[in-house]
Structure formats: structure tokens, C-alpha cells
Structure 1
């Protein structure tokens, strides 16, 4: 990956289009599960989402293998797709981008308040 690709994110766009092409080949229920997985994993991404690409690739590979083996989404992922995504992202309590931004804002406010008070 070149510097320009990294800065512009064109590598991510290309990778995302490849994911979507692979997902289009899945049966309807597997494709719906893919949509749920992406929706539930995005909050765990960093600013660019680059940290999610290997996780999304593995999750899509799991759905592809399940479809090829004739397994249903329920057999593979169970009833709790949000819980499955939480486990993929690092388990309960994994920090989302909102958590990181909140912590940064709190640090900045505390720093400003300490300057005013002291």
C-alpha cells in the first residue's frame, strides 16, 4: 500500500467493494447477517475503520464457509448477532470510537479547568 492510498483511503474503498462483491454471492439470509455484522462492528472501528478490515474479512469468510457447507446463519452465529460482534471486537467492555472520543474530551476539559482553577 502506498502512502497516497493510505492517506486517501482508496485501499479501504477497494477492499470494501471486494467485501460487498463477496457478500452478493451469499444466500439471502447470510447476506442479511452480513449487513447486521457490519452494522454492529462499525462502532468498534477507529477513525478510518482500518482496524476492522481483518475482522470483517474473517466474519465474511465464516459466512461463506457456512453457506458452502449448507449451514444456516442460526447454526453458525446463534441468535445473538450483536453479542457475536461484541466478542469479535474484543469482548464486553471493548472501547468504541465514542468511548475514545469521550475520554479525550474529558481529558481536554479537565486540563482546561485545572488551568483556570490553579
Structure 2
């Protein structure tokens, strides 16, 4: 990946289009689960979403393999897709972007107040 691709995000666009092309080959119930996985993983994304690309690639690979084996989507993911996504992102209670921004804001405010108070 070169600097220009990083700045413009063209590498992410290319990867995203590849994910969508791969997902089109899945059965309908798997495509529906893929849409839910993307939705439930989005809160764990960084500003650009670059951190989710390996996670999404792994999740799509799992769906492709299990669909090829003939397993039902409920055998693979169960009924808790949101919990599955939380586990993929680092476990239940994993920090999402709001948590990171809140912590950063609190650190900045504490630093400013420390300068004012002492």
C-alpha cells in the first residue's frame, strides 16, 4: 500500500468491493447474516475503518467455508449475531470508537484542568 492509497482510501474501496463481490456468491440467508455482521461491527471501527478489514475478511471467509460445507447459518452463528460480532471485535465490552473518543476527551480535559489548578 502506498502513501496515495492510504490518503485517499482507494485501497479500502478496492477491498470493500472485493468483499461485496465475494458476498454475492453466498446463499440468501448468509448474505443477510453478512449485512448484519457489517452493521454490528461498525461501532468498533476506527475513523477510517481500516482496523476492521482483517476482521471482516475473516468473518466473510468463515461464511464462505461454512456455506460450502452446507451448514445452516444458525449452526454457524446461532441467534446472537451481535454477540458474535462483539467477540470478533475483542470480546463483550470491547471499546468502540465512542469509548476511545470519550477517554481522549477526558485525558485532554484533565490535562487542561491540571495546568489551570496548579
Q: TM-score, normalised by structure 1?
A: 0.94
Structure 2 residue aligned with 1:10: 10
Structure 1 residue aligned with 2:88: 88
User: How many Å separate the matches in 2 of 1:37 and 1:17?
Assistant: 16
Q: How does 1:21-32 map to 2 (within 5 A)?
A: 21-32=21-32
User: How many Å separate the matches in 2 of 1:81 and 1:92?
Assistant: 12
Q: Give the deviation of 1:48 after TM superposition.
A: 1.3
User: How many Å separate the matches in 2 of 1:42 and 1:28?
Assistant: 22
User: How many Å separate the matches in 2 of 1:95 and 1:77?
Assistant: 22
> Any stretches of 5+ residues in structure 2 without a counterpart?
none
Q: Give the deviation of 1:95 after TM superposition.
A: 1.0
Q: TM-score, normalised by structure 2?
A: 0.94
User: How many Å separate the matches in 1 of 2:25 and 2:64?
Assistant: 9
Q: Give the deviation of 1:116 after TM superposition.
A: 2.7
Q: Give the deviation of 1:85 after TM superposition.
A: 0.6
